[in-house]
Chain A
Amino acid sequence: MATHFLLHLVLLLCFAPLLQGVIVKTKALFAGRAGAPLLQPYYDLARLLRKDCVFSRTTTWVFLAGPVAGVVVPVLASLFMPFGALPAPLSFTGDLLLFVYLFGVARFFTVASALDTGSSFEGMGGAREVTFSCLAEPIVLFCLMVLAGIADGLSLTALFGPHLADAWRGPEGFSLGLVLVCLFVVLLVENSRIPFDDPNTHLELTMVHEVMVLDHSGPPLALVLYGAALKLMVLGAPVVRLLLPFTSGSLAGDTLVFLAGMLLLAVLIGVVESTMARLRLIRIPQILVGTSLLAGFALVLVLR
């Protein structure tokens, strides 16, 4: 049990920044550049941790709570999320709701810390972030309900259990496909990737998530970046599990399948980011409502 716990945390804490590196490398290759080395996110984190912090005089402790919650929450949430065929270290009936709303807590602290700077830009970014995520929430809940309708338990470990491989071949296969698409959209929205948000933009009016972390510097900025990497990994895990529902039996095999899946997912995100343009801001709610309808449709198909 203890080794399992440790393996789970080591996988999460060590590999999360690598995914960001893979995404950046994929985008660079698409653009015909050599690109930054794969380990660049680690170097960035080390560089930022050595620097000093600069704080605005208007900020209070709330400003620091954002980055801290941004790292703590994904780590906590990951304890409930099975990584591939490896079951989650903690699991109880109904932990899927806790999983969804833990990210709500993180969002609250990020937005609160953005508002704490007193900048109107950060307020605007916070408003956008909250709007998008409250539209993304029904998608996640519908998807989890579909999975719960197929599985015979109400914990995330049961939802993403070994029965998925059979379900793909059964009549639920189509619903699972819809759920996969919907969860991928949620992954892109929640991690502020193109086409919903651009992690590289520094033009004030187009920023959504980035604008909220503008005022952070040094170690807090490192926490923000690290937290974003962790979140990508935790939210990517269910997508990978749906895509590769295999159980090899051995611990090493399962771990390798999961890591290979995560790297594949990172490449996929990189491809999406390279081939799609960013959506106009007013189109995003439309797309999100459409996606939640798809998820709701999948639910109707499963319950029928």
Chain B
Amino acid sequence: MSTFTDYKKELMDAAHNERIRIALSRAIASYRANTNAALKKFPHTIKMAEEVRAIKEKAIGEMEKLAQQACEAIESNKGKGYIAKTAEDALNIIDKLVGTGKLIVKGKSMTGEEIELREHLEEHGNEVYETDLGEFIIQKLGSRPMHILSPAIHVPREDVAQLFSKITGQQLSTDIETLVATARKLLREKYFEANIGMSGANVVAADTGTLFLIENEGNIRLATGAPPVHIALVGMEKLVPTLGDACKVAEVTWRYANYTIPSYVSLVSGPSKTGDIEKVTTYGAHGPKEFHVIFMDAGRTELAKHPILRQALYCLRCGGCLYECPVFAVTAGHFGDKYFAANGAVWAAMISHDMEKAASLAYTCLTCGRCKVRCPMKIDAPQMIVAARERILQGK
């Protein structure tokens, strides 16, 4: 069977899955209500989003320069910065830092998903724990994320209860609080036993080398704060010139991800240090002694050259578009690959170079354009889709 036939079957199975539809319709209603409320409370966000679009347009054109600058800043903060040209390079750098037989706690990262980082580390004899609750569920289910921010959006509580009962060997109720407490208990010690903590980043300020980590659960703070080593894998599109720019990007990101303010935003620029004894700077006080940041290109600078498809790199990964997509509403992330919907199609064509997958996704887009109305970056998905289809048919 062809890729398209398999894909279509998967899509239709999802479309006939009542659970996905119920989970999604609830999520969509609550996303819209929360986002409208957040934008009403902080109306400056809309203007700020326009500013951010300008920041991103410029930054995407100079990713290599910004990555260089960020590496220098991180080095001067006594961390280590790396530029990985390809996914393979990134994995090689990580292999050298990690080795084998390590216990790793991980924050959720789409860039990690992109290069199948967890699977890679496990294959190299490491024990990896996803610490984001949704991602933890996905990992234990052996499934894949179905939304960029809410990876387990398609899994109802009954299924989580069943899964956690199996893991703990106890019969757990479907009470959500109980399930959250179970995950907390399962992961708690891992943070302190772990050799390495891993994360991505939502945005990075090149001038100071500062990573912005936006979250609500608190798992990223623990995963990047407790272990002795912190390794961050960052797509180069996350770089912006200054700390001020990064603050704006972060605020727009969480607002369109339906939050007035998230519970936690960590700014990490270097390893933990203290000068409290005789003003002698010593590294590895309470936090990690080592801080490594890998800026990954893997096709991004190439994608940036395309006048229309480069818009995919402006994406802040707020996930808003997905809640407005009529196809996503009935199929969730099955309308996707590494990323979802229109951006997923562009990614498959330009980054993964999987043309059959790209064609399948590109022709699943209705080109209805409602996602563009939602998008804080005003990414023109229909325009990208038509350009992607053209490119796919040209065999490029």
A, B in one complex:
no
Residues in chain A within 8 A of chain B (CB atoms) = none
